[in-house]
Chains A and B, each alone.
Chain A
């Protein structure tokens, strides 16, 4: 239900709709984009960042909330857990039950390793489950991995690590085929051609989808496969610290049962961090599209053990988060809504930008519209611009919304808004962690020889911005690769004696720098409970 002011503004949107139907708003020049980003993108707001004072990335910046966690001590500091009482002893330990972790577990199992997974909530309670839009792969005749590389490299501001990006685009078609053979139902026409669309920043239509439940369809299939294979999955259990040995290798992890607060020791020859993103840290007070457990834990664990971060200062704000109604605040409105033809329109009914600019540019442009230009629509929690969804039905024919983006339709109908008939209000939401732990082409961290990272916890695959559809792709490509590499590596590793000396050393560094925070990290869950006293 819209407010009367909103309804007034909708009339203006409707008045310009027919005229807008035939036109394509101009794309910005490279210079215009640069200026816009510098002036309006949250990554350029100095007060949102703070210098990291210790460890491998000392002297670099990270979001304030992340730096504070990096400047916190382990919850195990000073505790006397018996590290020799081993509860789980495996070849490969996968931390995190999202898409990256599940792909890794399946491949490690396929390679014959003794693999187990621990995950904070349930397997599949993860950002992967929520991905709506789709997954990229250059598998059409007019496309090629080279074109895919160019799009991703440019979209990421020429900062991606070439050896990582190469793997991403070259193994993309195989990733789609692997998923398809596991039973993922991609949108196809009757001849078997994948139905592919554009995403922001793509030069070819290479976005594969499963309606707007792309991530859910992939995640539930992977989860089913993990269970079918009998891979042990320890749910409601977080990794709270990596174990190391006297050779400087990782030796497993200390686990925390989230429900009973009991600790467990998992010994492992190789460890894969697949803990995903950081949306629930609410950088710069943004709402988030992320799941409940997205608190950058893996970055903290890895960093404390000595693994460097890369591009930890670049965050993706998805241009179209829900601005209204407040019950859905921050939830994602998939980019596919724009791929299917909906334009971004201000309170006056003007299409103020091309709807398919890259995400950082689009987010900055919406922020400009709602701030200095004063052309946003006021909402109870801030402001937003219109996403003119009825255009989708005009372009694609009646029923397109229900067929192609049913989750979106359902989400809004719950609150009495029919996006087929009325436009919706959007504002940027904290969506994706572009940066993370640095890895080499084979998936290993450079500092610790038997520690791997996969998925959103990795930095460098996409550079300083990520295109829609390249993350679902990276979790499959790098997840699978990590599983295979970890299984192979486990055959060569002999573990020494597990210790937690690194958390003592870390505490000493924090002390010397005089920056130790009062709390402990990793955070595990955001503090949402309200207490009156």
Chain B
């Protein structure tokens, strides 16, 4: 027999193979998941989960698809958490401190408890990226929050009611659009194409017989 462990889904006990993830263990137990399951590979943040190991008092947060079951695990999924995304027109706002103040004023109610960082399923320094956002250091906030999957586990634990993933997202969009240097080669190429510089060349290659295309393809030079 496989190595079985006892886990508790929403308080009810199930015996499941110990090498499963929380997500596959729920399916093993008979659940047909509808909420709380998206990419199944750690990218979408749909499977935010809170658990406690029997006999320990610490509450832990994790992604159900990326976490192996353990003996005595009490599991509750958090398939939805009311984070608060503020809407804006990306073309109308500016990359400065004021935008954070206006859209996410609760940022300044942070009490520095670090619960968000402890809860982060991606191991990010969440409190730090919130601090950057407060100070209007948008680029740093963007970098620090870049690997965020938006699971919301930080927000679940925050006494100040901050919607951390939304703050990071705003900082990243502002950075990508306004702060990061422009790509001249990209603009040039778009202009060349729009001015028709490649029209004839592309037509010509589209008309070539397959045998000629095979020749060209098999002998094309490959950049080192």
A145's partner among B21, B88, B193 (CB-CB below 8 A) is: B193
Q: Does A511 contact B (CB under 8 A)?
A: no
Report Cα–Cα, A532/B29, bound state, in Å: 9
Q: Are A146 and B193 interface neighbours, CB within 8 A? A: no
Q: Are B198 and A236 interface neighbours, CB within 8 A? A: no
Q: Does A410 contact B (CB under 8 A)?
A: yes
B174's partner among A137, A183, A527 (CB-CB below 8 A) is: A183
Report the nearest B residue to A120, measured CB to CB. Answer: B34
Q: A414-B67, A525-B34 are in contact. List 13 more A-B contacts (CB 8 A).
A: A30-B218, A144-B201, A158-B210, A158-B217, A166-B202, A183-B177, A204-B223, A228-B89, A291-B41, A327-B19, A410-B122, A411-B41, A525-B32
Given contacts A138-B189, A146-B202, contact A129 B175 (CB under 8 A): no
B19's partner among A139, A170, A188, A326 (CB-CB below 8 A) is: A326
Q: Are B27 and A530 interface neighbours, CB within 8 A? A: yes
Residues of A within 8 A of B187 (CB): 177
Q: Are A194 and B186 interface neighbours, CB within 8 A? A: yes
Q: Does A497 contact B (CB under 8 A)?
A: no
Q: Does A174 contact B (CB under 8 A)?
A: yes
Q: Are B46 and A121 interface neighbours, CB within 8 A? A: yes
Residues of B within 8 A of A407 (CB): 42-43, 147
Q: Are B38 and A125 interface neighbours, CB within 8 A? A: yes
Report Cα–Cα, A121/B79, bound state, in Å: 11
Interface string of A162-173 (1 = CB under 8 A from B): 110010011101
Residues of A within 8 A of B222 (CB): 203
B62 to A: closest C-beta gap in Å: 10
Q: Are A220 and B150 interface neighbours, CB within 8 A? A: yes
B39's partner among A125, A190, A236 (CB-CB below 8 A) is: A125
Interface string of B15-50 (1 = CB under 8 A from A): 000011100100111111111011111111010000
Residues of A within 8 A of B210 (CB): 158
Interfacial residues, chain B to chain A (CB-CB below 8 A): 19-21, 24, 27-35, 37-44, 46, 66-68, 85, 87-90, 122-123, 142, 146-147, 149-150, 169, 172-177, 180-187, 189-190, 193-194, 198, 201-202, 205-206, 210, 213-214, 216-218, 220-223
Residues of A within 8 A of B186 (CB): 137, 139, 173, 176-177, 180, 194
Q: Does A40 contact B (CB under 8 A)?
A: no
Q: Does A513 contact B (CB under 8 A)?
A: no
Q: Are B202 and A227 interface neighbours, CB within 8 A? A: no
What are 22 of the A-B contact pairs (CB < 8 Å)? A139-B185, A149-B202, A154-B220, A158-B214, A180-B183, A183-B177, A185-B172, A185-B176, A188-B180, A192-B182, A203-B222, A205-B223, A213-B43, A220-B150, A228-B89, A292-B37, A407-B43, A528-B33, A529-B32, A530-B27, A531-B30, A532-B30
